[in-house]
């Protein structure tokens, strides 16, 4: 297990879907930071989803409690321990799952790795453990915003329906208005229609999230192995169900020539800028001051109502169908997770950047 | 700077394009491993390229010297220090570059981060520093092969020319026979024709490398933040010019439904297997015993003969064209780098896996 | 802040003296370990002290709750999150302290480092945050005992009263019978008499704890910078109030000659042993199979009833005397902390050892 | 193996006594630092010793070569790779040692840990591998001196002869004038007389080194597990032959009462200071602006001319005497190693300190 991310701004998380609470410890936050609890609650709520037809119905909102590191709503500089109660846990749901390895879930691999503790996969591999991460990311965002760094993610694709705009053309204010977090009314409609069809057939849908980081100064990232894009990739591929990451021109760069792809330098408003941004705001592993943007691909949720044939632990072929609640498409709910992960990576990079920023 | 990769099997590299040698230190290799120097030399040579029209002409092959950790051709258990002489360095090439920021190179960002040391980008950001990594990867491969784990990468796409076969259909023996490391004669021909055209226009081309890891047992990878795909993604995005990473179904999973995407379990030869492998051999961040495979996207080389307008450090618009040697397409030369990176990640994961493998 | 210890068996702690709970996360514990809660409770109780005249009176025993990583009393392999409620907190005690820097406390340095969050020192620097560490150590002991590794610490000196026996001459069963955890009746009496005198004068006393690790196989420890004694030293010097560490012959080795100090090899019961053990069970940074033993020096508690002159934050000279509860001598209560720290270091070393133990 | 020290200012070393060179990589040095090669050469020479009767005779001085990270005598910000040639190696010396485990050397434990590679202990456990560390420390000192932080170590005790002055009473300029690096003429004479006697009897002597760090600002060190004294202790106990570490009042604090030990705050030259410095410049794990000082105990060298009985690998009792060169007392030569280790720890702590120093 490896439940810590970051080197200077460090988050360690814990949690099982069956425990009384999940939570984490943020180590390395500077002292004196005023904490806006509403923004934390908002991001937690965004991750929960639950209001819409395509998501799991849930009884109540995640609450959270700080156990240390915050006094009078300000960070003390000490480790911030926090918990998020598991109000809605239904451990009995898992009992009948113990005899089968659900297809494309972590059940088999956790069993293979952790042996006798056969339930670990169902417990710790749950998407619910990203709630502590979203909480920590919400604090990281509050650090970054003081340096005018903002992070915004949205849904760019659901199944076969794709937003046909680049990120510079969208109105970010419309993201949260869309039930699928897609900042375009027409595309939102099509996505919903698509999801209704998928839902009807007892199936699930994948998708793509785009994330944009604005205001990042030049200088973040540590070559060779701490390149900013490498840290972002590691963070994104740590999110359950993520299958791919690309930044800037991404996979489409493969078909381009150098003369098409090169971002030529220009002077704009007395500052060195690039005329295009195929580099996605990162060159040589270090931020160059342009917008950082990247795409994250999510596979469709493996839990579906549709029946599928698989094998139980006794090697018998069985027909299997996921009971209980599950999302038709969790991609909209992944938006705040992608943002939180980005915020953690950026904050850690920022702290490292500062360690070398001025001469001793 | 962050020049170390791995936690138990650790590589730290150093090197500037202008120094007398580049090199590294491998820390954590088990003792008693017999070292096959020919295989190391072969991989170093594969990275160098240089025989073909689409690559940089180079005078001589990389040699290497072990300074510690190997006695009578066997590892001692101590750190393996090694150097690769820089026979072919032409430091004067860089002098005239100091006044401009080459487009889509690391010149500007290194300047922004490392300030007065304006040449760092040209020195340490050079692709040449991946030679030590290839050497270390060649040793890691020799560790893995003892557990029947093999790693093979090949070129899947160059510019607009793509191999229309999945990895299970190719003959890996033909990879090295192809001057572009594409295991298909027809596609190779088309790629060469494409590159000739690109070369003629003084331009460069991107591409995609596919990597396949066979024989990996179930159990490697450490959730949540050390998921095997996350470590692979971090390693791949650390390679110069890489813009994207996807494993298994990758970005194509976004358009699939759960019932299409799920890898149903079956029994094959008395072993639990999956009927399909959209998971790319990894579920819940842990290897499941199936083939691990992934794609890595490379942007076209930024150094081209074609003239481009950019800005020098005095904010004057200039016309710029890369002099000296440079590759029309370095994607074939990236193949051994992708393999080496994979081998480092797998070996480190294997060592961690062993730390928990049996009860104390 | 740096609240994590260990690389493979990792503990991260959090906690303020004023919060509703303190706690931690153990990451990297193997699955399937049966947890003996009574032994955990016992060690927590040993740290609390409170029954005797020389210790702080406390209302109730520390309880603890596992929030994740344990199912049906067995570890799952996932992170073990746990909390220890702060039943007995008296935050008001700290309010009047805010205006002064208590002598030889962390108040000033925390203020210097964490600035505006002036109370951090009083909150996080509290000895109470070692309770989570003792809990984690109690789990580590349960791992080690499966390999017949045992860890026993005792009080060797309090103030001017010293136990005149080497560790091989003592009966470890008598440690807990002694109210000062000294395994000798006569010395215990003298220590108590000494502490009564110290208490009467409103003062406090330092002391020395000896720790003995038996059953450690040869091979633990990682040269050069992960030498077993270096990891133990780092762990011990992390304990509040510790001023020195020595292992084996320790400081007394300075006056010895090589011929006196060398541990000559002999054969005993068909095993290679050493005739003496000045090496303290470690040679070249690696355990050699003999007993590991070391001493840890504790300064006297800075909080005393006796009045002392110091400076408040406004630079006024004031007379200061610690109000509220405090220990005349916390050295006996440090015994389980020293054991816990040792157990964490040993377990982490054991896991690393296993990672290389067999050939792949 | 664990050959890396530091987190932000990181040193990784390699080297065997038999290779053509030893060396290391410094990662994380800021760019633009002017390197004074003479100071590096001086410290390397101080470690070599060799001029005096009590030390090993050596043919020539260590030279060194930077392979990367330094351009026109200034750091570039990239990793600094360097080598120190092994001019004076005599590999044949080791051949006849292969059949015995030298008493109190690392031969047996390296054999136990690294198995078949039986010579690793003799190769990598050699004190010679501290030469790269001294080189890196000499660079770290050049970083620290820019913030007016100075590090000075000296010999406080050799065998039974001890310097009867506290560090504040000595004239540091006299340290290097003394052939035993003891800043007192009378004590030096006695130490030399003592060592002559020890040498005559074919034996060796231990000793104690004191190190003083002046000019360290308040705020360095990271509680709980990165306390400044804990990092120093880990570094010191990583040095071959070190058996103990104490800072400030150290082991003598055990016999003191709180009222004797407390460092009362006073105002001196408009700055908050402490009247005494039993704290050794560190409170709660964080530097307080006073001098940091500590003692490091060294055991006598295990290699002696005097014959001793031990066991060879075939379990035969043999008489053993160390042939070849060896020191009667290597404590004076350890002085620059203690300084170098301190410089590495301080620089790393300083960089971490800066990462949080100002608000984002």
Q: How far apart are CA B11 and CA B51, in angstroms?
A: 29
Q: Tell me whether residues B120 and D3 touch, CB distance under 8 A.
A: no
Q: How far is B293 from chain A (nearest CA, A)?
A: 12
- Closest to A201 (Cα-Cα) out of A304, A346, A327: A304
Q: How far apart are CA A199 and CA A304, in angstroms?
A: 9
Query: Contact D35/D73 with Cβ under 8 angstroms?
Result: yes
Within 186-225 of A, beta carbons closer than 8 Å to B belong to: 198, 201, 203-208, 218-219, 221-225
pLDDT in tens, B236-271: 999 999 999 999 999 999 999 999 999 999 998 888
Q: Kindly report which listed range (A130-144, A282-296, B40-54, C333-347) carries the lowest average pLDDT score.
A: B40-54
Q: How far apart are CA C234 and CA C245, in angstroms?
A: 9
Q: How far is A278 from chain D (nearest CA, A)?
A: 26
Residue D213 dihedral angles phi and psi, to the nearest 5°? -115, 120
Q: Work out the mean pLDDT of chain A and round it to a whole number.
A: 90
| B80 in contact with D, Cβ within 8 Å | yes
Residue A90 confidence (pLDDT): 55
pLDDT in tens, A287-308: 999 999 999 999 999 999 999 9
Within 223-262 of C, beta carbons closer than 8 Å to A belong to: none
| D93 in contact with A, Cβ within 8 Å | no
Residue B248 dihedral angles phi and psi, to the nearest 5°? 55, -130
- Closest to C85 (Cα-Cα) out of C22, C133, C131, C41: C22
DSSP helix, strand, coil percent of chain C (3-state; round to 5) = 35, 25, 45
Q: How far apart are CA B166 and CA D144, in angstroms?
A: 57
Q: C262: left (phi > 0), else alpha (psi -120 to 50), else beta?
A: beta
Of A351, A352, A359, Cβ closest to residue D30: A359
pLDDT in tens, A233-259: 999 999 999 999 999 999 999 999 999
- Closest to D338 (Cα-Cα) out of D66, D82, D156, D112: D156
Q: How far is B126 from chain D (nearest CA, A)?
A: 12
Q: Does residue D353 surpass a pLDDT of 80?
A: yes
pLDDT in tens, B327-340: 899 999 999 999 99
Q: How far apart are CA D327 and CA C316, in angstroms?
A: 55
Distances (CA, A) of D148 to A1, A360, D144, D273, D339: 43, 10, 6, 18, 15
Degrees, nearest 5: CA angle A223-A225-A231: 95
For helices B130-144 and B37-48, the axis angle rounded to 10 degrees is 140
CA within 13 Å, CB half, A26: 28
C240 SS3 class: coil
Tokens of C244: 């020195």
Chains touching D by CB (3 or more pairs below 8 Å): A, B, C
Percentage, residues of chain B above pLDDT 70: 90
Query: Contact D86/D21 with Cβ under 8 angstroms?
Result: yes
Residue B85 confidence (pLDDT): 94
Distances (CA, A) of D217 to D9, D214, D291: 18, 9, 10
| D11 in contact with B, Cβ within 8 Å | no
pLDDT band for A321, please (50, 70, 90 cuts). Answer: confident
Residue B59 confidence (pLDDT): 52
Three-state SS for B116-132 is: CCCCHHHHHCCHHHHHH
Beta bridge partners of A153: A211
Q: Does residue D336 surpass a pLDDT of 70?
A: yes
pLDDT in tens, D172-215: 999 999 999 999 999 999 999 999 999 999 999 999 999 999 99
Residue A86 confidence (pLDDT): 87
pLDDT band for A51, please (50, 70, 90 cuts). Answer: low
DSSP letter at D107 equals: H
Q: Tell me whether residues A359 and D32 touch, CB distance under 8 A.
A: yes
Sign for the CA dihedral angle at C195, C197, C198, C199 comes to: positive
Residue C231 confidence (pLDDT): 98
Distances (CA, A) of C169 to C164, C259, C263: 10, 24, 19
Residue A360 confidence (pLDDT): 43
pLDDT in tens, A7-17: 999 999 999 88
Of A227, A237, A299, Cβ closest to residue B227: A237
Indicate the helix (H) or strand (E) that contains C198: helix C185-200
Residue D346 confidence (pLDDT): 98
Tokens of B44: 């170093």
Q: How far apart are CA D272 and CA D289, in angstroms?
A: 9
Q: How far is A9 from chain D (nearest CA, A)?
A: 10
Residue A127 confidence (pLDDT): 85
- Between residues D96 and C113, the one the model is more confident about: C113
Degrees, nearest 5: CA angle B18-B22-B28: 160
In chain D, which residues have their Cβ closer than 8 Å to the Cβ of C265? Answer: 101, 103, 108, 310-311
Largest CA distance in chain A: 70
Average pLDDT of span D98-109: 84
Q: How far is D76 from chain A (nearest CA, A)?
A: 13
| D311 in contact with C, Cβ within 8 Å | yes
pLDDT band for C333, please (50, 70, 90 cuts). Answer: very high
- Between residues A291 and C269, the one the model is more confident about: A291
Of D28, D143, D360, Cβ closest to residue A360: D143
Q: Tell me whether residues B120 and D31 touch, CB distance under 8 A.
A: yes
Q: Tell me whether residues C108 and D283 touch, CB distance under 8 A.
A: yes
CATH number for the domain that contains residue B119? 3.60.150.10
Each residue of A263-278: b (16+ CB within 10 Å) or e? bbbbeeeeebbbebbb
Q: How far apart are CA C232 and CA C245, in angstroms?
A: 9
| C351 in contact with B, Cβ within 8 Å | yes
Residue B57's domain comprises 4-357
User: Whole-prediction pTM value?
Assistant: 0.96
Query: Contact A102/A303 with Cβ under 8 angstroms?
Result: yes
For helices C37-48 and C130-144, the axis angle rounded to 10 degrees is 140
| D15 in contact with B, Cβ within 8 Å | yes
pLDDT in tens, D236-264: 999 999 999 999 999 999 999 999 999 99
Chains touching C by CB (3 or more pairs below 8 Å): A, B, D
Q: How far apart are CA D349 and CA D339, in angstroms?
A: 15
Q: How far is D243 from chain C (nearest CA, A)?
A: 5
Q: How far apart are CA A55 and CA B74, in angstroms?
A: 58
Of C25, C65, C66, Cβ closest to residue A25: C25
Residue B360 confidence (pLDDT): 42
Q: Does residue B139 surpass a pLDDT of 60?
A: yes
Which of D34, D74, D77 would best serve as a mutation to test chain B binding (most B beta carbons within 10 A)? D77
DSSP letter at C171 equals: -
To the nearest 10°, report the CA torsion of D97, D101, D106, D109: 130
Each residue of A81-90: b (16+ CB within 10 Å) or e? bbbbbbebbe
Query: Contact B182/B163 with Cβ under 8 angstroms?
Result: yes
Q: How far is A144 from chain D (nearest CA, A)?
A: 8
Q: How far apart are CA B116 and CA B93, in angstroms?
A: 20
Q: Does residue B86 surpass a pLDDT of 80?
A: yes
Q: Tell me whether residues B360 and C8 touch, CB distance under 8 A.
A: no
CA-based nearest residue in chain C for residue A22: C67
Q: How far apart are CA D172 and CA D181, in angstroms?
A: 10
CB atoms within 10 A of CB B118: 19
Three-state SS for chain A is: CECEECCCCEEEEECCCCCCEEEEEEECCCCCCECCHHHHHHHHHHHHCCCCCCCCCCCCCCCCEECCCEECCEECCCCEEEEEECCCCCCHHHHCCCCECCCCCCHHHHHHHHCCCCCHHHHHCCHHHHHHHHHHHHHHHHHHHHHCCEEEEEEEEECCEECCCCHHHCCHHHCCCCCCCCCCHHHHHHHHHHHHHHHHCCCCECEEEEEEEECCCCCCCECECECHHHHHHHHHHCCCCEEEEEECCHHHHHHCEHHHHCCCEEEECCEEEECCCCCCCEECCEECCCCEEEEEEECCCCCCCCCEEEEECCCCEEEECCCCCCCCCCHHHHHHHHHHHHHHHHHHHHHHHHHHHCCC
D40 SS3 class: helix
Tokens of D100: 């015995």
CB atoms within 10 A of CB B208: 22
Q: Work out the mean pLDDT of chain B and round it to a whole number.
A: 90
Q: Does residue B206 surpass a pLDDT of 60?
A: yes
CB atoms within 10 A of CB D173: 9
DSSP letter at B224 equals: B
| D157 in contact with C, Cβ within 8 Å | yes
- Closest to A144 (Cα-Cα) out of A235, A282, A33: A33
To the nearest 10°, report the CA torsion of D13, D14, D15, D16: 120
Q: How far apart are CA B141 and CA B46, in angstroms?
A: 15
In chain A, which residues have their Cβ closer than 8 Å to the Cβ of C9? Answer: none
Residue A101 confidence (pLDDT): 85
Residue A1 confidence (pLDDT): 82
Which of A9, A145, A224, A355 would best serve as a mutation to test chain D binding (most D beta carbons within 10 A)? A355
Which of A1, A18, A136 would best serve as a mutation to test chain C binding (most C beta carbons within 10 A)? A1
Residue with tokens 């999973």: B253
pLDDT in tens, D265-320: 999 888 889 999 999 999 999 999 999 999 999 999 999 999 998 887 777 888 88
Q: How far is C80 from chain B (nearest CA, A)?
A: 14
CA-based nearest residue in chain B for residue A298: B254
Average pLDDT of span D166-175: 95
- Closest to D210 (Cα-Cα) out of D177, D262, D169: D169
Residue D254 confidence (pLDDT): 98
In chain A, which residues have their Cβ closer than 8 Å to the Cβ of C12? Answer: 4, 12, 25, 27, 79
Chains touching A by CB (3 or more pairs below 8 Å): B, C, D
In chain B, which residues have their Cβ closer than 8 Å to the Cβ of A231? Answer: 234
DSSP labels, C77-95: SS-EEEEEE-TT--THHHH
CB atoms within 10 A of CB D31: 22
Question: Could you give the number of structural domains in chain A?
Answer: 1
- Closest to C298 (Cα-Cα) out of C211, C196, C183, C177: C211
Q: How far is D264 from chain C (nearest CA, A)?
A: 5
Degrees, nearest 5: CA angle D225-D229-D233: 95
- Between residues A314 and A177, the one the model is more confident about: A177
Of A3, A28, A76, Cβ closest to residue C27: A3
pLDDT band for B89, please (50, 70, 90 cuts). Answer: low
Residue C258 confidence (pLDDT): 97
């Amino acid at each position: 297990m490896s439940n810590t991310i970051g080197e200077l701004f460090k988050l360690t998380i814990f949690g099982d879907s069956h425990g009384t609470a999940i939570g984490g410890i943020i180590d390395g936050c500077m002292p004196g930071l005023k904490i806006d609890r509403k923004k934390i609650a908002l991001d937690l709520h965004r991750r929960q989803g639950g209001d819409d037809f395509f998501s799991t119905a849930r009884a109540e909102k995640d609450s959270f409690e700080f156990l240390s590191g915050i006094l009078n709503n300000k960070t003390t500089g000490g480790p911030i321990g926090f918990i998020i109660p598991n109000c809605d846990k239904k451990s009995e749901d898992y009992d009948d799952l113990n005899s089968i390895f659900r297809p494309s879930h972590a059940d088999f691999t956790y069993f293979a790795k952790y042996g006798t503790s056969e339930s670990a996969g169902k417990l710790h591999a749950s998407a619910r453990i990203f709630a502590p991460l979203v909480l920590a990311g919400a604090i990281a965002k509050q650090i970054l915003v003081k340096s005018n760094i903002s992070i915004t993610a949205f849904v760019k694709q659901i199944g076969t329906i794709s937003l046909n705009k680049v990120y510079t053309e969208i109105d970010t204010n419309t993201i949260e208005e869309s039930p699928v977090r897609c900042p375009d009314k027409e595309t939102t409609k099509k996505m919903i229609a698509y999801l209704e069809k998928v839902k009807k057939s007892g199936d699930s849908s994948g998708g793509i999230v785009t994330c944009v980081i604005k205001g990042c100064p030049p200088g973040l990232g540590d070559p060779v192995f701490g390149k900013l894009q490498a840290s972002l990739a590691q963070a994104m591929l740590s999110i359950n169900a993520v299958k791919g990451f690309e930044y800037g021109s991404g996979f489409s760069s493969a078909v381009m020539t150098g003369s098409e792809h090169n971002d030529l330098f220009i002077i704009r408003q007395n500052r060195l800028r690039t005329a295009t941004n195929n580099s996605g705001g990162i060159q040589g592993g270090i931020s160059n001051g342009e917008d950082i943007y990247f795409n994250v691909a999510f596979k469709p949720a493996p839990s579906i109502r549709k029946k599928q044939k698989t094998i139980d632990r006794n090697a018998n072929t069985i027909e299997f169908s996921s009971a209980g609640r599950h999302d038709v498409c969790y991609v909209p709910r992944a938006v705040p997770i992608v943002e939180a992960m980005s915020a953690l990576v950026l904050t850690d990079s920022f702290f490292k950047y500062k360690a070398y920023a001025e001469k001793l």
